[in-house]
């Protein structure tokens, strides 16, 4: 018994930092879950099915553009500060410059593309949503990543708690006054994210010893940002592009059904996403001379995440009729769609770890190629299947593209880990040969001296 208790204590001591990170990530994501559930339920009940379909369709445009305005920049912070050991102040100024520049361009693109594809939402509402998500919110997100790079994930998670609180308040306040519309929701986001952005620039960054400023980044930053942002944009396009295409082909009502169903799938991924966010940083270090390290990390993460996701998928399949209770009869068709999309849950859980492993191996270009290829496949499938089969075509395209992403991700991780291990063995053999040559030279010198 004493041995067992000591073993538990040793394990807790060994993984205490990881447990702390996962716990704070869980708190942050629990609040995000509440905010997402509130927006999902209140918007779905307040809007017509067609207008809700237009709302989810907007994220088929804003989501991929957000990868350039903040998602890719978030990874760039960790890549430059943790892996490349850049000066933190210089990195901050360069990344803020990129954030504002890319955000402004992304807003213009979002307005142009979404207003053309989506008829159910006004251009004004689209523009307000784009400004909130693509121009103002990225400042808070980038600040959080600098906190993570300097003080750790838990400290960053405590800061990120502000984001779901803003999103939750932005839904609840207009709903309480009976004025919840897409336009008013976007206005509330602009106000809330402006407050958090100012707090980050005036309070949080100075406490880290950093001064907000702007400096044009060198080509290496732009290149790495593109390598990181393009896969994220492609992944988001694969996830959300089907909703925009449903709207483009005037399946507005089906887009509403499909969007509600897919939101259930996304919410079910919260536990896996929580772990991935908390442990992502641990995929990056490359311990010199250690064999199979990146593949081993990916396998360990996947074993647990896959088991959990299969359990979640089973619960979703059985509990899908609860959607009728939550949203009423007008979203009844979403129950069938949820069951069509259930295979996506385990696929998502096993497709992310190998992509993280490729980052750890420094194969950012290969990683980008894998994700972009999967996204292109999904878009071909969406444009081929949706005009004839509506949401069924979107569901089939989603499952097939996720299968492709999973298979290619693991294939390349195994391949490049094997190459890295061969290089490590060759380097060890070279060092051993050098030592033997030195020893042999020493023996010859000794013998010569004695002679």
Question: Which one is predicted more confidently, 268 or 244?
Answer: 244
Closest by CA to 288, choosing from 362, 234, 352, is 362
pTM for this one?
Answer: 0.74
The pLDDT mean for the chain works out to 82
Q: What is the mean pLDDT of residues 218-229?
A: 84
CA-atom Rg of the chain in angstroms:
25
Q: How far apart are CA 189 and CA 194, in angstroms?
A: 8
Q: Is the predicted pLDDT of residue 309 greater than 80, yes or no?
A: yes
List Cβ neighbours of 56 (8 Å cut-off, separation of 6 or more): 240, 243, 255, 256, 258, 259, 262, 263
DSSP string, 111-150: HHHHHHH-SSS-HHHHHHHHIIIIIIHHHHHHHHHHHHHH
* CA dihedral angle for residue 106, residue 169, residue 333, residue 403, rounded to 10 degrees: 50
Q: Which pLDDT score, from 0 to 100, does residue 306 have?
A: 85
pLDDT band at 20 (very low <50, low <70, confident <90, very high): low
Q: Which DSSP state fits 30?
A: H
End-to-end CA distance of the chain: 67
DSSP string, 41-94: HHHHHHS-HHHHHHHHHHHHHHHHHHIIIIIHHHHHHHIIIIIS---HHHHHHH
Q: Which pLDDT score, from 0 to 100, does residue 206 have?
A: 93
Q: What is the mean pLDDT of residues 45-73?
A: 84
Q: Is the predicted pLDDT of residue 396 greater than 80, yes or no?
A: yes
Q: What is the mean pLDDT of residues 399-418?
A: 91
pLDDT band at 451 (very low <50, low <70, confident <90, very high): very low
Closest by CA to 87, choosing from 206, 201, 203, 209, is 209
Render the burial of 117-130: b for 16+ CB within 10 Å, e for the rest. Answer: bbebbeeebbbbbb
Q: What is the mean pLDDT of residues 3-25?
A: 56
Query: Lowest-pLDDT range, 341-355, 398-412, 434-448?
Result: 434-448
């Amino acid at each position: 018994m004493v041995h067992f208790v000591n073993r538990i204590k040793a394990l807790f001591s060994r993984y205490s930092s990881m447990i702390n990170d996962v716990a704070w990530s869980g708190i942050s994501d629990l609040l995000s879950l509440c905010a997402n559930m509130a927006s999902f339920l209140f918007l779905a009940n307040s809007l017509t099915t067609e207008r809700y379909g237009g709302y989810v369709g907007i994220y088929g445009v804003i989501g991929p553009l957000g990868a350039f305005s903040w998602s890719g920049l978030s990874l760039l912070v960790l890549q430059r500060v943790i892996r490349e050991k850049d000066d933190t102040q210089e990195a901050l100024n360069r990344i803020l410059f990129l954030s504002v520049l890319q955000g402004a361009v992304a807003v213009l693109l979002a307005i142009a593309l979404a207003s053309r594809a989506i008829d159910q939402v006004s251009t004004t509402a689209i523009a307000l949503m784009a400004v909130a998500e693509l121009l103002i919110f990225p400042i808070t997100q980038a600040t959080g990543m600098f906190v993570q790079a300097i003080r750790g994930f838990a400290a960053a998670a405590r800061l990120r708690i502000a984001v779901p609180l803003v999103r939750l308040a932005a839904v609840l306040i207009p709903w309480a006054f009976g004025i919840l519309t897409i336009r008013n929701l976007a206005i509330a986001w602009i106000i809330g994210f402006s407050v958090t952005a100012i707090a980050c620039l005036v309070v949080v960054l100075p406490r880290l010893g950093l001064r907000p400023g702007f400096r044009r980044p060198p080509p290496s930053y732009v290149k790495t940002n593109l390598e990181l942002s393009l896969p994220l944009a492609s992944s988001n396009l694969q996830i959300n592009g089907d909703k925009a295409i449903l709207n483009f082909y005037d399946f507005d009502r089906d887009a509403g059904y499909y969007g509600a169903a897919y939101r259930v799938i996304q919410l079910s991924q919260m536990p896996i996403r929580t772990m991935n966010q908390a442990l992502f940083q641990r995929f990056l270090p490359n311990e010199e001379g250690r064999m199979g390290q990146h593949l081993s990390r990916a396998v360990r993460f996947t074993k647990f995440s896959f088991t959990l996701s299969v359990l979640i998928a089973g619960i979703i399949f059985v509990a899908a009729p609860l959607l009728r209770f939550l949203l009423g009869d007008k979203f009844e068709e979403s129950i069938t769609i949820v069951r069509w999309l259930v295979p996506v849950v385990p696929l998502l859980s096993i497709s992310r770890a190998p992509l993280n492993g490729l980052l750890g191996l420094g194969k950012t270009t290969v990683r980008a190629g894998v994700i972009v290829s999967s996204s292109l496949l999904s878009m071909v499938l969406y444009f081929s299947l949706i005009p004839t089969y509506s949401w069924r075509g979107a569901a089939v395209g989603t499952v097939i593209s996720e299968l492709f992403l999973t298979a290619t991700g693991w294939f390349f991780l195994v391949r490049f880990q094997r190459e890295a291990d061969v290089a490590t063995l060759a380097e060890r053999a070279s060092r051993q040969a050098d030592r033997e040559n030195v020893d042999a030279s020493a023996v010859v010198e000794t013998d010569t001296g004695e002679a």
